[in-house]
């Protein structure tokens, strides 16, 4: 249950946030923690000791604090940091209950001690607390508070031109990439940047729809049509993240603009994931590793058949005959706590610390691949850790990933967790101050389009997510600048200092 406010309280023209009511929000917070504790007191894959149960609840309660603080303070910014923190509970607390206390090593189960899990939870709690504290402390620093803003307020006419170019051009690039018809090579970063403009345009469209007082059918059709098209193209790549990211962006914008939790969208997203996750393996076996070449329509047809089979296995009658294992298997994708407990047990007793070895990519991440075609991949360190900890065999194509917090531990132990999470909190605060201001438009769209990958990205390495973060933001800003009136609100339009902007797709009826 989530506190709600009336739509009229969030005015698109004034940009004012609804007046917070702290007492009801505190009640909702306590109720949310209580419901979580009650649910997982009875839903457990295997009996969980009381001390582990309490630590898992404590972690969730801690991770919920920033989100409910966002409600209580009435902040106008999109709550992306708050959701990133909450994802730590989803991937370190919830798997305690939904997964058996084991980890699979070379197809063989390795059972863990509950004491290992308890220690891992304590370290995660320390890391999450450090992340939260460093973020809020950094927001008070003059350097962060006065950091250059990238509002990028878009000119109405040029805005429509950008949407047209981004949706058609970026959509075409994504389609060609999905069908392996676009040779990426050393231009991969540029091509990927062009394709991701669809997400930026989708965010701008979503704000048009959810902050407008008028219900314009054309704008709604364009928005939901874009989400659907992006979803289908993403499916044909075989990567669920590509398919579900557009829905996540829609969810985030609607939530922030209306301050109403989108239960329907969240429920739909969870249901889609549970159905699509088991089907993706059959799809990859045919499309990725098979000898046949499939057209776009044939790929969509493959998904249709595989999803029908997957849905049938999730029906109640099938669940009783073992289909419920598919749900547990789907949720295993988000299990980082058992990996951390396993890694922590053998580091440094068996496997010595890396002492910063997995972060070496940051030394040369700034060099464009166009100038250094043989530049090592950001995923190289992640893959090496997988091999070193026997999570996969050398040369195996798939990437497992132990997660950013365990990665900090395998480099420097508990000190590494404190150090890395402190740096991340500072970076998040700096980006939030520069791009996610109350009057930001293009900047906020860039911010959300980049940061949405962090929600699931805590399970990958720091180099993959942070290695090209600032380059991506800068490149997106350069692309949007010709369509904006300035870098900040007020640049090139003195009247903007007196009134907040509100742009709509007036020509779409």
Per-residue pLDDT reduced to its tens digit, 216-272: 888 899 999 999 999 999 999 999 999 999 999 999 999 888 888 888 888 888 888
pLDDT at 81: 94
Coil vs helix vs strand at 173: helix
pLDDT at 6 over 80: no
pLDDT at 503 over 90: no
pLDDT at 45 over 60: yes
* Number of alpha carbons in the 13 Å side-chain half-sphere of residue 347: 24
Is the distance from CB of 323 to CB of 206 less than 8 angstroms? no
- In this structure, what token pair is assigned to residue 210? 């959810």
Strands (E), 206-329: none
> 380 pLDDT band (50/70/90 cuts)?
confident
pLDDT at 58 over 70: yes
pLDDT at 370: 76
Query: Mean pLDDT over residues 114-138, rounded?
Result: 97
Is the distance from CB of 126 to CB of 58 less than 8 angstroms? no
Q: Which of 150, 172, 305, 304 is nearest to 233 (CA)?
A: 172
Query: Mean pLDDT over residues 53-74, rounded?
Result: 94
pLDDT at 192 over 70: yes
> 495 pLDDT band (50/70/90 cuts)?
very low
267 vs 10, higher pLDDT: 267
H-helix or E-strand spanning residue 110: strand 108-111
pLDDT at 324: 58
341 vs 463, higher pLDDT: 341
The domain spans of the chain are 157-333
**Could you report the per-residue pLDDT of 294-349, keeping only the tens digit for each?**
999 999 999 999 999 888 877 655 544 455 566 787 788 889 999 999 999 999 98
Q: How far apart are CA 50 and CA 430, in angstroms?
A: 39
- In this structure, what token pair is assigned to residue 326? 């598919």
> 493 pLDDT band (50/70/90 cuts)?
low
Is the distance from CB of 461 to CB of 381 less than 8 angstroms? yes
Query: Mean pLDDT over residues 131-156, rounded?
Result: 93
Q: How far apart are CA 254 and CA 203, in angstroms?
A: 10
pLDDT at 94: 95
pLDDT at 111: 93
Q: Lowest-pLDDT range, 86-90, 382-386, 449-453?
A: 382-386
pLDDT at 166 over 90: yes
Provide CB contacts within 8 A for 123, sequence distance 6+. Answer: 340, 344, 405, 409, 414, 417
**Could you report the per-residue pLDDT of 420-435, keeping only the tens digit for each?**
999 999 999 999 999 9
Q: Lowest-pLDDT range, 258-267, 274-283, 436-445, 468-477?
A: 258-267
> 491 pLDDT band (50/70/90 cuts)?
low
Q: How far apart are CA 247 and CA 253, in angstroms?
A: 10
- How many CB atoms neighbour CB 221 within 10 A? 11
Q: How far apart are CA 465 and CA 452, in angstroms?
A: 11
pLDDT at 492: 58
Query: Mean pLDDT over residues 19-29, rounded?
Result: 77
pLDDT at 188 over 60: yes
pLDDT at 7: 39
> What single string gives the DSSP state of each residue in 103-166?
EEETTEEEE--HHHHHHHHHHHHHHHHHHHHHHHHHTTSHHHHTSPP---PBPHHHHHHHHHHI
Query: Mean pLDDT over residues 405-420, rounded?
Result: 95
Q: What value does the CA radius of gyration of the chain take, rounded to a whole number of Å? A: 23
Q: Which of 495, 505, 501 is nearest to 13 (CA)?
A: 501
H-helix or E-strand spanning residue 446: helix 442-451
């Amino acid at each position: 249950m989530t506190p709600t406010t009336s739509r009229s309280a969030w005015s698109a023209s004034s940009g004012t946030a609804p007046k917070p009511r702290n007492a009801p929000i505190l009640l909702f917070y306590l109720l949310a923690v209580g419901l979580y504790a009650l649910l997982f007191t009875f839903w457990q894959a295997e009996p969980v000791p009381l001390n582990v149960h309490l630590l898992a609840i404590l972690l969730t309660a801690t991770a919920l604090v920033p989100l409910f603080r966002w409600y209580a303070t009435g902040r106008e910014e999109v709550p992306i940091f708050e959701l990133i923190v909450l994802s730590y509970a989803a991937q370190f607390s919830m798997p305690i209950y939904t997964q058996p206390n084991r980890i699979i090593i070379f197809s063989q189960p390795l059972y863990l001690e509950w004491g290992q899990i308890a220690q891992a939870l304590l370290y995660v709690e320390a890391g999450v607390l450090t992340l939260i504290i460093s973020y809020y402390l950094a927001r008070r620093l003059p350097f962060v508070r006065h950091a250059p803003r990238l509002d990028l307020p878009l000119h109405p006419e040029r805005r429509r031109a950008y949407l047209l170019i981004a949706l058609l051009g970026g959509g075409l690039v994504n389609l060609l990439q999905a069908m392996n018809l676009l040779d990426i090579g050393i231009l991969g970063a540029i091509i990927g940047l062009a394709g991701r403009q669809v997400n930026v345009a989708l965010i701008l469209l979503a704000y048009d729809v959810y902050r407008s007082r008028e219900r314009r059918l054309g704008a709604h059709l364009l928005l939901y049509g874009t989400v659907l098209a992006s979803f289908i193209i993403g499916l044909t790549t075989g990567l669920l993240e590509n398919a579900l990211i557009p829905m996540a962006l829609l969810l985030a914008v609607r939530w922030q603009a209306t301050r109403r939790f989108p239960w329907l969208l969240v429920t739909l997203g969870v249901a889609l994931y549970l159905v699509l996750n088991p089907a993706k393996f059959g799809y990859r076996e045919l499309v990725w590793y098979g000898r046949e070449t499939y057209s776009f329509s044939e790929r969509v047809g493959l998904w249709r058949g595989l999803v029908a089979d997957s849905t049938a296995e999730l029906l109640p009658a099938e669940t009783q005959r073992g289909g419920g294992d598919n749900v547990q298997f789907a949720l295993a994708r988000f299990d980082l706590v058992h990996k951390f407990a396993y890694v922590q047990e053998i580091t440094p007793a068996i496997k010595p610390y890396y002492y910063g070895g997995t972060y070496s990519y940051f030394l040369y991440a700034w060099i464009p691949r166009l100038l250094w075609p043989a530049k090592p991949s950001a995923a190289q360190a992640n893959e090496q850790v997988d091999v070193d900890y026997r999570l996969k065999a050398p040369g195996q194509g798939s990437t497992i990933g132990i997660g950013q917090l365990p990665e900090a531990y395998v480099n420097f132990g508990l000190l590494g967790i404190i150090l890395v999470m402190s740096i991340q909190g500072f970076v998040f605060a700096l980006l939030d101050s520069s791009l996610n201001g109350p009057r930001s438009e293009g900047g906020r769209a860039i911010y959300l389009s980049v940061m949405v990958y962090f929600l699931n990205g805590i399970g990958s390495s720091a180099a993959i997510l942070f290695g090209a973060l600032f380059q991506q933001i800068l490149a997106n800003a350069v692309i949007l600048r010709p369509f904006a009136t300035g870098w900040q609100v007020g640049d090139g339009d003195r009247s903007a200092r007196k009134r907040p902007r509100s742009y709509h797709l007036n020509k779409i009826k």
